Amino acid sequence: MKQDILARKLERIDDLPSIPSMVFEAVHLLHQPDITVERLTSSIQLDQAIVSKILRLVNSSFYGFQGRIGNLSQALVLLGFNAVRNAILSISILDIFSDLGKDFDSRLFWLHAIGTGVICQVMGHQLKYPRVENLFVAGLLHDIGKLVIIKLFPEDFFKILKEVREKDISIIEAERAVLGMDHTEIGYRMAEKWKLPQEIQEALGFHHCPWNAKENRAMSATVCLSNCLCRALDIGCGGDALVPEIDPKVLTILGIEPLFIAGCLEDIDLEMERAKSFLTIFNENELRSPS
């Protein structure tokens, strides 16, 4: 019976908007080995809202071009296809969750999301991982399941926050108590629906237990550690004011000692200042603190 209730709740995820078909086409084209800038540009520019947000983002200090990119073709050439793919995916997914009610502090949520993405990217560079751009997207979207809960189950979401406050427990514990499932299961389901790369799906689904990932355990472990560091550094808010326990298996998967983290902190500070401009992809009325 309980399983039926959970299954029906998860099916409601299908009610959420899909990512626009242009995005899938662009993402598909970006993977083709012989794709041209002209072909990509003509596909993406069918959606002028996305084009304008891409240009706003790429001209922000996040990418460091500072107003020098005037059109989409330039953005594709200067940033590279992976970075543009991730920008398109991030913008279109963020668009789906642009209005979550006046009682939700979206600014603090997105600061935490961006912070986790930045920390993932910094660690990925230090560890010399390939596909560091995917690490940023995984970090940015790791808590997307929480936004699904707010959108689809708003009354349950406020019960969850009440549990966190009154019992001093983590948000994931409160989600399991109120909903019978948590944001990682929901996030994984969303990432499947959006056909994100398998390693990103896993990072959303296993960032609290990365040893369970199959495709790319290191990516899930990086998101796990980055989420913890983001909370320890008090960047934004993930729903509670607690630093989660890091299992020593996470450091074993990454092949690092704890002292390695100290070497990342200065870069995190520098990158975080630039990354706050990522918030420019939102309009002012999309980002609010509770009144």
Partner 1 sequence: MIKSKEKTIPIEKLTPDMTLAMDITKPNGDLIFGQSGRLTKPIIEKLKRFGVKKITVLVERADGHQDPRYIKKEMKEIEEGLDYRFRRVRHIPLMMELKELIGEHLKGKLTS
Q: Where along the sequence are the contacts to partner 1 (CB under 8 A)?
A: 126-127, 168, 170, 228-229, 231-234, 241-246, 248, 251, 255-267, 269
Give the number of other CB atoms < 10 A from CB of residue 256. 18
Classify the phi-psi angles of 289: left when phi > 0, otherwise alpha if psi is within -120 to 50, otherwise beta: beta
Whose Cβ is closer to partner 1: residue 78's or residue 132's? 132
Least spacing, CB of residue 185 vs partner 1, in Å = 23
What distance in Å separates the CA atoms of residue 276 and residue 214, rounded to the nearest whole number? 32
Least spacing, CB of residue 265 vs partner 1, in Å = 4
* CA 249 to chain centroid: 23
Whose Cβ is closer to partner 1: residue 152's or residue 251's? 251
Least spacing, CB of residue 221 vs partner 1, in Å = 13
Whose Cβ is closer to partner 1: residue 20's or residue 244's? 244
* 31 contacts: CB under 8 Å, gap ≥ 6: none
Least spacing, CB of residue 249 vs partner 1, in Å = 11
Whose Cβ is closer to partner 1: residue 186's or residue 275's? 275
Let me know: does 91 contact 105? Beta carbons within 8 Å: no
Whose Cβ is closer to partner 1: residue 137's or residue 261's? 261
Least spacing, CB of residue 250 vs partner 1, in Å = 10
Least spacing, CB of residue 37 vs partner 1, in Å = 33
Return the closest-CA partner of residue 134 out of 223, 236, 52. Answer: 223
What distance in Å separates the CA atoms of residue 141 and residue 204, rounded to the nearest whole number? 7
Classify the phi-psi angles of 28: left when phi > 0, otherwise alpha if psi is within -120 to 50, otherwise beta: alpha
Whose Cβ is closer to partner 1: residue 185's or residue 240's? 240
* 104 contacts: CB under 8 Å, gap ≥ 6: 150, 290
